[in-house]
Amino acid sequence: MAYYGQQQRQGPPGPDQNFLMGVFSRIDKDRSGSISGSELGQALSNGTWTPFNPETVRLMIGMFDRDNSGTINFQEFSSLWKYVTDWQNCFRGYDRDNSGSIDKNELKTALTSFGYRLSDRFYDVLVRKFDRLGRGTVAFDDFIQCCIVLQTLTQSFRNYDTDQDGWIQIGYEQFLTLVFSIKS
């Protein structure tokens, strides 16, 4: 059973550092030299005129906040910029109808290309979980969150799946430890 994946995509080199510093300065409203979650959330757009999902912003800050300050500095922002740009390009590639969101089939195509082999029933679960707007589709920011959560859970599962066969046998307390030790 193949349940892992995450092919690494190689894109063109990132934008020039002067451009990024200008973007960083515009986002850093309080001029603190770092970007908070609320500043980042106000700056991000998912293309649907709805606010970027605060949980996705929190997850992204957590991923790129290397010094555990709760904010991201310019260096961390540069990595975040590339990450969001890559996800945006990926999302656009799977949003076949250019609706600004992806449906179950588009989500399945995306995750299958990342190496995940999941049942149709599970894709229904994913859409229900990550469809904040109740439309049966997943918006860009929720797509990022879905992929981060899937990747995090998969990595946690892998830690217990020592023979890499897609199966683990754990007790209840081990399960709770697995769930509560996930950094998100």
pTM for the predicted model, two decimal places: 0.74
pLDDT tens track for 11-70: 445 568 888 899 899 889 999 999 998 888 888 866 655 678 888 888 888 888 888 899
Looking up tokens 């589709």, which residue turns up? 137
- Is there a domain that residue 91 lies in? yes
Residue-range definition of the domain harbouring residue 40: 17-182
CA within 13 Å, CB half, 32: 13
pLDDT tens track for 126-147: 999 999 889 999 998 899 899 8
CA distance 93 to 67: 33
- Is there a domain that residue 150 lies in? yes
CATH number, position 45: 1.10.238.10
Q: Structurally, how many domains does the chain consist of?
A: 1
- Is there a domain that residue 53 lies in? yes
- Is there a domain that residue 27 lies in? yes
- Is there a domain that residue 10 lies in? no
